[in-house]
Amino acid sequence: MPPRTDARAQGAYLPRLAAERPDIALCRASAAVARAADAAAAENGLGVGQHLVLKMLAAVGSCSQQVLSAELRIDRSVMVGIADDLERSGFVRRERDPADRRAYAVTITPAGRRALAKAEKAIPEFLATTFGALTAAERAQLTGLLGKLLFAE
């Protein structure tokens, strides 16, 4: 078997495979976007999960860790760590839910709102950089298509 140093094969196979297999293309693109999101989030002092939790709490108000986990599609065990980190940072408060003493109500604090506002300022630049290969129309189309896949039943 000849060695795998053929320059013609380098950089040519994955694009061909991605054209045949949208699942592979989506997985590879998702991994690249996740790496970029993690790097951008680290620059702003919030992890991606932490940012999502603060964003949801700011939008919908206090809710349980279970609701956060389900809505944001974050594993429950991971959500506990995210909530712990946010609470330690003073960005959320967790209190027993008066309606269900087994659950915790998570509430964003003023410090959490400030951290979220700072992180949100970086989002337009992150999106422009990460999705720079797409036109505005292509980005809108991609967003619509991903929404269809994400919420298909």
Mean pLDDT of the 118-144 span: 92
- Between residues 89 and 40, the one the model is more confident about: 89
> Three-class SS of residue 63?
strand
Residue 153, pLDDT score: 63
- At 54-110, the pLDDT tens digits run 999 999 999 999 999 999 999 999 999 999 999 999 999 998 877 777 878 999 999
pLDDT tens digits for range 117-129: 999 998 999 999 9
What is the pairing mode between strands 100-108 and 92-97? Answer: antiparallel
Cβ(119)–Cβ(38) below 8 Å:
no
CB 36 within 8 A of CB 126: yes
- pTM score, whole prediction: 0.81
Domains in the chain, start-ordered, CATH in brackets?
20-150 (1.10.10.10)
Helices and strands: H and E segment counts in the chain? 7, 3
Render 83-126 in DSSP notation, one character per residue: HHHHHHTTSEEEEEETTEEEEEEEEE-HHHHHHHHHHHHHHHHH
User: Whole-angstrom Cα distance, residue 14 to residue 32?
Assistant: 14
